[in-house]
Structure 1
Amino acid sequence: MGDNAKKALVDGLNGLLADHLALYLKTKNFHWHVKGREFRDLHLLFDEQATAIFANVDVIAERVRKNAANTLTSIGSVAAKTRIVDEDDTSLAPMDMVERLRDDNAALVKSLKELKELAGDAGDNATDGLIDEWTDEAEERVWFLSSVLG
């Protein structure tokens, strides 16, 4: 495994870690602030998805450490690495929330597919295998959110 391939993988993993943390918080934000007729169903769906997203955080960080590198260390480091756009509006319509989470999860799927190539280039079979699981989970979230939108 070349140093450049390993550095690219670690950088990608830290980006994935940042995206998971940011998407977790965004999903919980929507869980806390959803209103309307769809409240119960969306409140529960958002909480379920946030829990699944957060479950991957430690595993991703440990992959960085197992590659002899440092993980993100602060909110600032997460903000600098994430591609998930912040959402501070607590009055969004429920379907706007669903749409934004669907799009964020779809973007995460794309990032995961790019990261899989980096894991292959770095010869990191363990990360390569985990990426398949994470991709499947993100694709399921996209499917659920798309189905809510009709």
Structure 2
Amino acid sequence: MSTEINIGINQADRVEIANGLNNLLADTYSLYLKTHSFHWNVTGPMFNTLHLMFETQYTELALAVDIIAERVRALGERALGSYSAYAKVTGIKEDNGVTDANQMLQELLEGQEVIIRRARALYPLVNQADDEATADLLTQRIQLHEKTAWMLRSMLAK
């Protein structure tokens, strides 16, 4: 019985795609953590609206980390799973005690856009490797993050 992975994607491409997905995983988890913190700490006249919106967003992000990590594993690599590993590769800025609701919205918008760009940057490699499953995952992630970014941007509009 062979444990070799023979899914039509060569090992070098699988490793490179998995590395890219691990970066996406780190960003997604980091944004999850930040969004959850903002959910707990938001104050002001928009409290109820933002508290509920942030809950919806962090719940979706929590589900996404599992999907991304499982794709990394399906490609035969180890999914990152520690704060220190995520901190080394994430493009998401940590929550540094933000208390202003508009600043929270702006930082979450920026985080959504980091993830969109990270996911989009993986397409050339994924397409070259004929990795349709990862392409589908990326398409779904981009679509969701673009919608969330639009909603956050709309809340910031004056």
TM-score, structure 1 normalization: 0.94
Q: Spell out, residue by residue over 1:12-52, the C-alpha distance to the aligned partner (whole angstroms, 9 max, x if none).
A: 00001111110000001110000000101011111111111
Q: Which of 98, 114, 121 is the equivalent residue of 1:107?
A: 114
- Alignment counterpart, residue 125 of structure 2, candidates 118, 126, 144: 118
More helix as a share of residues? 1
Q: Which stretches of structure 1, 4 residues or longer, exceed 6 Å deviation after superposition? A: none
Structure 1, unaligned stretches of length 5 or more?
A: none
Q: Does 1:19 align with 2:19?
A: no
Structure 2: gaps (5+ residues): 1-8
Alpha carbons 2:14, 2:76 under 8 Å: kept: no
**Residue 2 of structure 1, CA deviation:** 4.0
Q: CA RMSD in A?
A: 1.2
User: Do 2:26 and 2:89's aligned partners in 1 also have CA atoms closer than 8 Å?
Assistant: yes
Distance 1:48 1:22 in 2: 16
State the partner residue of 1:146: 153
What residue is the counterpart of 1:85 in the other structure?
93
Q: Percent identity?
A: 34
Tell which structure's C-alpha radius of gyration is larger: 2
| 1:37 is aligned to 2:71 | no
Q: Are 1:74 and 2:78 an aligned pair? A: no
Q: Would you say how many aligned residue pairs link Structure 1 and Structure 2?
A: 149
